């Protein structure tokens, strides 16, 4: 019915969808004590084994999940464009062998920079990264 390449791609999509579903269900069952009404978007990236969370109150989500994380939380800052202080800040937590990323939209990213972080535009793109 479909060419072999299309059939193979559809099979991979189904496999990926099943692994995403399993990962999200396992995460939900393991962390039922957090306020799930605060989470408005959650997804799983199988390639990097990360759960991505967008919350109404990102700081509350970070506080709820932080006790379950191993080590210090990492942080990435992505200003929307050069000359603007609006940015996305991503906190990276290692929880049970999975990276959990909590995304936060902030009005002034400079408040979230740690000493030594510098910001620069990625070559041939409009993306600004701080590290």
Cα–Cα distance list, 130 to 41, 50, 101 (Å): 24, 20, 16
Kindly list the domain boundaries of the chain, sorted by start residue.
4-130
For residue 115, what is the DSSP state? T
Residue 77: other Cβ atoms inside 10 A: 21
Higher pLDDT among residues 42 and 47, named by residue: 42
Give tens-digit pLDDT for 65-122. Answer: 999 999 888 888 888 777 778 888 899 999 988 899 999 988 988 888 888 888 877 7
pLDDT attached to residue 65: 95
């Amino acid at each position: 019915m479909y060419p072999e390449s299309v059939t193979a791609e559809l099979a991979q999509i189904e496999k990926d969808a099943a692994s995403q579903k399993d990962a999200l269900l396992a995460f939900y069952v393991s962390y039922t004590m957090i306020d799930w009404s605060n989470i408005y978007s959650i997804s799983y990236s199988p390639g990097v084994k990360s759960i991505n969370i967008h919350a109404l109150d990102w700081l509350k989500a970070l506080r709820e999940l932080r006790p379950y994380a191993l080590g210090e939380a990492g942080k990435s800052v992505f200003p929307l464009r050069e000359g603007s202080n609006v940015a996305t800040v991503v906190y990276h937590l290692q929880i049970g062998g999975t990276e959990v990323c909590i995304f936060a939209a902030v009005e002034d990213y400079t408040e979230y920079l740690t000493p030594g972080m510098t910001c620069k535009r990625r070559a041939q793109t409009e993306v600004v990264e701080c590290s």
